[in-house]
Amino acid sequence: MSTPLPWGDTNPPWEIGQVKHLGSVTLGKMLQTKDTGQDVLAAYMRAANVQPDGVLALDDVKEMWFSPRELRDLTLRQGDVVVVEGGQGGFGRAAYIRGDLDGWGFQNSINRIRSNGDNDGRFLAYYLIALRATGFIRRYCNVVSMPHLTAEKLAAIPIPLPSGPEQRFIADHLDRETGEIDRLIAAQDRFVGLLQERRQAVVEHELAGVVPAVPGTRLKHLVQSIRQGWSPQCLPWPGDGIQTWAVLKAGAANRGVFRPEENKELPEDLVPRPSTVVRRGDLVVSRANTRDLVGSAAVVSGDYPRLMLSDKLYALALDGSKALPRYVAYLMASRRIRDLIEMNATGASSSMLNITRDEIINLPMDVPEIAEQCRVLKRLDAEIADIDTLIAKTQRHIELARERRRALITAAVTGQMDIPMEV
Q: How far apart are CA 312 and CA 189, in angstroms?
A: 27
Closest CA to 26 of 82, 95, 96: 82
Q: How far apart are CA 125 and CA 93, in angstroms?
A: 9
375 CB neighbour count, 10 Å cutoff? 14
- The pTM assigned to this predicted structure is 0.81
- Coil/strand/helix, residue 144: coil
Q: What is the number of H-type helices and E-type strands within the chain?
A: 9, 21
Is residue 84 within a helix (H) or strand (E), and if so which, with residue range?
strand 81-84
Q: How far apart are CA 26 and CA 339, in angstroms?
A: 45
Q: How far apart are CA 291 and CA 242, in angstroms?
A: 32
Find the Cα–Cα–Cα–Cα dihedral 386, 391, 396, 400, rounded to 10°.
Answer: 130
pLDDT attached to residue 323: 97
pLDDT per residue of the chain (423 residues) written in tens, 0 to 9: 444 567 665 566 889 999 999 999 999 999 999 999 899 999 999 998 999 899 999 988 999 999 999 999 999 999 999 999 986 558 899 999 999 999 999 999 999 999 999 999 999 999 999 999 888 888 888 655 567 889 999 999 999 999 999 999 999 999 999 999 999 999 999 999 999 999 999 999 999 989 999 999 999 999 999 999 999 988 878 999 999 999 999 999 988 899 999 999 999 999 999 999 999 999 999 999 998 899 999 999 999 999 999 999 999 999 999 999 999 999 999 999 999 999 999 986 666 899 999 999 999 999 999 999 999 999 999 999 999 999 999 999 999 999 999 999 999 998 888 776 654
Class of CATH domain 16-161: alpha beta
Residues of the chain with CATH 3.90.220.20: 16-161, 212-367
pLDDT attached to residue 148: 83
Q: How far apart are CA 94 and CA 47, in angstroms?
A: 10
Fold classification of 212-367 is Adenine-n6-DNA-methyltransferase TaqI; Chain A, domain 2 (3.90.220)
Q: Count Cα neighbours of 350 within 13 Å in the Cβ-side half-sphere.
A: 6
Q: Enumerate the H helices of 293-369 as residue ranges.
A: 325-332, 335-344, 357-361
Find the Cα–Cα–Cα–Cα dihedral 197, 386, 180, 12, rounded to 10°.
Answer: 130
Q: 38 with 68: CB under 8 angstroms?
A: yes
